[in-house]
Amino acid sequence: MGVCLCEFESRSGHQKFEFSRAQRTGPLDGPCPDVWGHDDAAMTTIKDRLADAYRILLAAFGPQDWWPALSRFEVMVGAVLTQNTSWTNAERAIENLREEGALEPAGLAALSVGRLEELVRPAGFYRRKAKTLTDLLATIARSGGGLDGLLDLAQDDLRRALLRTTGIGPETADAIVLYAGGYPTFVVDAYTRRFAARHGLASERASYDEIQSLFENALPRRTDLLNEYHALLVCLGKRFCRPLPLCEECPLRSDLPASV
């Protein structure tokens, strides 16, 4: 999604919102505990490698404390605005909406199409993203219970509702399901794909669902852990696992296949 979590500094100084239903799968805040257990003999090779990679990355980069937002609706807006752009650009658009009082459904719905496009222009593809945000409001309305009604749907129902929204694909939907809904799902982005392919975990041609299943089958289904792992892989991709990689400096260099 183009976000450099490890280098994030909020210009607004806003703190991450408190997710009131975090006990659904465990707390969202703070470093993740060692939840893999200690029965190494019973773990598969992939589980071992992903567990080791998580511990190494957490030690190298520290907790990422993602997603930075004041509300679950702001997370949803941010997930749309960061599509195909940097978080810096998305944040400019978010701050425009904040100043306009449009980071809640009623405030966003009150904007004209032209005004909304003007406010989100810094995020790029502003007409498309304005349309997606407008359609997201319609998705919320169709839930029959407002924002909470949508986000309180069962995990699969929530994902399906989001995927029916214009401009929202699997990555954006899963980001909302994880970070706003608090459900345990793994978000697959370009950084995840690069890591999985270079470390021999998945083919470069593997589908979104195949890569997601790889991680979800190997990792504990904990919202806090899946949140942190995704954030750490984005940090890895920004700092070391770049299109032109810095393998010799990477904290995961010992896990690379010999051919890399």
Question: Is 124 a member of any domain?
Answer: yes
In this prediction, residue 161 carries a pLDDT of 98
Are 80 and 171 in a shared domain?
A: yes
pLDDT digits (tens, 9 = 90+) for 137-168: 999 999 999 999 999 999 999 999 999 999 99
Are 30 and 90 in a shared domain?
A: no
Are 90 and 107 in a shared domain?
A: yes
State the average pLDDT for the chain. 87
Question: Is 161 a member of any domain?
Answer: yes
Phi-psi region of 65 (alpha: psi -120 to 50; beta: other; left: phi over 0): left
Instruction: Find the domain containing 103 and state its range.
Output: 72-179
Of 119, 145, 179, the one marking the end of a domain is 179
The DSSP output letter for 259 is: T
Question: Is 8 a member of any domain?
Answer: no
Q: How many structural domains compose the chain?
A: 2
Are 85 and 147 in a shared domain?
A: yes
In this prediction, residue 258 carries a pLDDT of 77
pLDDT digits (tens, 9 = 90+) for 94-149: 999 999 999 999 999 999 999 999 999 999 999 999 999 999 999 999 999 999 99
Q: Which two tokens stand for residue 184?
A: 């345990």
Q: Compute how many other C-beta atoms are within 10 angstroms of the C-beta atom of residue 225.
A: 21
CATH of the domain at 238: 1.10.1670.10
Check the CA dihedral 79-101-126-11 and report its sign: negative
Segment 74-91 mean pLDDT: 96
In this prediction, residue 44 carries a pLDDT of 58
pLDDT digits (tens, 9 = 90+) for 199-234: 999 999 999 999 999 999 999 999 999 999 999 999
Are 169 and 107 in a shared domain?
A: yes
Segment 75-90 mean pLDDT: 96
Segment 10-35 mean pLDDT: 42
Question: Is 191 a member of any domain?
Answer: yes
Q: Apex CA 69: angle with CA 170 and CA 32, to 5°?
A: 75
In this prediction, residue 2 carries a pLDDT of 40
Please list, in sequence order, all residues whose beta carbon lies within 8 angstroms of the beta carbon of residue 254, skipping any fewer than 6 positions away. Answer: none
Q: Which two tokens stand for residue 185?
A: 């799902």
